[in-house]
Amino acid sequence: MTEDALPVRALAAAFDDDLLTDYVPDALGAADVRRRLALGRPLDDGPLDVGLLRIPLTRRTETVPVASSLTRARMVLLTEQALAAHTPRPEVFSYRSPDWQYRPAYRARQHRLRELAARRDLPLVLVLDVHRFGRSLPLAALTGAPWITAGLAEALTSLHAATDRCLLLGHRWSNRLATAALAPVDETVAALAPDRWTRWGDDLHIFVRDAEEADDIRAAVVAALTRLGLRLSPDKSTLAPPTAVLAGPARVVEGSPQEVWRTGLASGDVTALRYALPRTPPDDTVSATVVGAALGRPVLLPRVVHYLDRAVGTPGGQAAAQELLRSTEPDAFTAARLLALAGRHPLLARAASQELLAVADGSGFTPLRELAFRVDALRGNPHRLPPTSRMRDWLITDSRDRSQLPPVTTLL
């Protein structure tokens, strides 16, 4: 598959969606990288630019590799070239194609799970989850796949050498490869439970008639995973009544975003809070409570920043953003999100602390240093040297270009 054979619009959409799960927003909104994609310019010059970032997840923190926007674009291109002829089974809802969209696909999966849960002839659901899938998938499982290309194999080998893994958390291209890598498992399940299962990522929900059938399917999946060098997670693989699915992945959050936010705060429901933040317009009650929510639950910070970016034009939103910049204990994760917000609003740039900038500068990761430079430039620091040629060019020619803002819209 050649680079020219890929539709530019689909490739650009895939890259834009990849940026929605970027832990370190690009200081220029990746506008220059997007232009290179649109013009068909090469993306394979130089080594992969990868760093490490400690991030909060819902129940733990984890140190994960993160990549620059140019590296992400290169991996998106190579992945889509490789998977151009690969079509997942219809029971697979995650990351199916270059133009796949998260929210419609997630709703479609919820609908299908509710349909299956309503069937009286299927009183149990077998939930299977791969143990630390993103970290444990062997390189050989990808380089030996029928759809692999020489260019993608070379890039994945370099990535594995740099990070000791070939799937990176928060990367759409990585999720595309993960979806394709489990195709042999899909065929195994489809043969044993036709039209009564779903998969999202490495999460399988298989509706079964009884425990004996569940044991047979589980054994077959274990065998298929073993051939890929993987194993089931003993803690996350269960057999339960369908009501467990209705309270879990098939659960639908409903109501006005402001009300969902208030009830989510009262109950500590992170799912409800994540739902509400990107959907609620600037609201005095939300603005008054959003900083406390972010400090108490750091996993919410990317969506809190997205909300504040829209609310900063109101007195409550401006006050909350200023408070967040002052109150947050700086680390690389918080610096990435807060400097992206400050880099979009000159008034907030002046409120960013020197400690926040120092954390970014000391991270050793070029995209985070670029964010710090952008914010310092907006603060009027004339003596700071640009960390890269792209930031030098921005400072000289494009520093007032509103199309090159750090992105804060996120699916994290």
In contact, 233 and 132? CB cutoff 8 Å: yes
Q: What is the DSSP string of 67-133?
A: E-HHHHHHHHHHHHHHTTT----TTB-SS-STT--HHHHHHHHHHHHHHHHT-TT--EEEEEEBTTH
Q: What is the pTM of this model?
A: 0.88
Contacts with 320 (C-beta within 8 Å, 6 or more apart), sequence order = 287, 288, 290, 291, 308, 311
Encoded amino acid at 111, one letter: H
| CA quadruple 9, 183, 23, 409: dihedral, nearest 10 | 50
**The predicted structure's pLDDT at residue 9:** 76
Report the alpha-carbon distance of residue 369 to residue 90 in Å, rounded: 43
CA distance 40 to 38: 6
Question: In terms of Cα–Cα distance, which of 205, 202, 203 is closest to 217?
Answer: 205
User: What CA–CA distance (Å, rounded) separates 125 from 113?
Assistant: 10
In DSSP notation, 253-311 reads: --S-HHHHHHHHHHHT-HHHHHHHTTTPPS-HHHHHHHHHHHHH-GGGHHHHHHHHHHH
Using a 10 angstrom Cβ sphere, with 0-12 exposed, 13-18 middle and 19 or more buried, the burial of residue 252 is exposed
- Digitized pLDDT (tens) for each residue of the chain, 412 residues in all: 444 456 677 788 889 889 999 999 999 999 988 888 877 666 665 677 889 999 998 778 899 999 999 999 999 999 999 999 999 999 999 999 988 999 899 999 999 999 999 999 999 999 999 999 989 999 999 999 999 999 999 999 999 999 999 999 889 999 999 999 999 999 999 999 999 999 999 999 999 999 999 999 999 999 999 999 999 998 888 999 998 888 777 676 778 999 999 999 999 999 999 999 999 999 999 999 999 999 999 999 999 999 999 999 999 999 999 999 988 788 999 999 999 999 999 899 999 999 999 999 999 899 999 999 999 998 888 678 899 999 999 988 866 666 789 999 998 9
Inter-axis angle of helices 31-39 and 8-19, nearest 10:
160
| Cβ 163 vs Cβ 50: under 8 Å | yes
pLDDT for the residue numbered 399: 65
Which pLDDT score is estimated for 25?
Answer: 96
Residue 382 is predicted with a pLDDT of: 65
